[in-house]
Amino acid sequence: SQTIHQWPATLVQPVGSPLSLECTVEGTSNPNLYWYRQAAGRGLQLLFYSVGIGQISSEVPQNLSASRPQDRQFILSSKKLLLSDSGFYLCAWSRGNYGYTFGSGTRLTVV
Amino acid sequence: ILNVEQSPQSLHVQEGDSTNFTCSFPSSNFYALHWYRWETAKSPEALFVMTLNGDEKKKGRISATLNTKEGYSYLYIKGSQPEDSATYLCASLNYGGSQGNLIFGKGTKLSVKP
């Protein structure tokens, strides 16, 4: 069966510090991978998606970047966090026209 | 700009009540409509993926309908139970947006009192 792992679950980071959130998928190959963020009072917003290794598309200009070094690994990064980067980050995968499967999420608080 | 709207924002019902929520989405270049159930401290869980106008799907006491011409979907819960308490998200996938860009609404938060 397919599983998706996302860590850490919570993170408190100072402004200006770097960020690395990791997501891995098991039990499937060549999935589409996504990073979403939910900021306070807002819906889920797509940040990045990837259809293959090394292929990253960005939906909104921001302080974050994403990488896909392996087929089932998706990493969200920042060199210097801003207060506005606080939020709940969700990784997800999909294949074909089925519902997305989400990870358990990371609550990031930038202080 | 593609926008998905959900109403109501929150809903409080008694155990045993039936209820429904609305999702409105862009009808132009429509491809698919997703419903998710998001419990506190858990991941969103896919309920339905619907693509055809007039489609109706059911999972236990939960069902959903789709009108792609007018751009709305209804989610129904029959005989609500406390374990149904969650935020229900809908999301639209339209051609012309970026590939894989599922646009989410802000959700309807359902609380079912025993």
Residue A100 to residue B34, Cβ atoms within 8 A: yes
Residue A99 to residue B106, Cβ atoms within 8 A: no
- Map tokens 């608080």 to a residue: A109
d(CA B35, CA A45): 16
pLDDT digits over A77-109, tens only? 999 999 999 999 999 998 876 789 999 999 999
DSSP string, A48-94: EEEEETTEEEESS--S-EEEEEETTEEEEEESS--GGG-EEEEEEEE
The distance of A81 to chain B (nearest Cα, Å) reads: 24
pLDDT digits over B25-71, tens only? 998 888 899 999 999 878 899 999 999 999 999 999 999 999 999 99
Residue A50's identity, in one-letter code, is S
Q: Which of B43, B47, B89 to mutate to test the interface with A (most CBs of A within 10 A)?
A: B43
**CB burial class (10 A; 0-12, 13-18, 19+) of residue A67?**
middle
CB atoms within 10 A of CB A27: 10
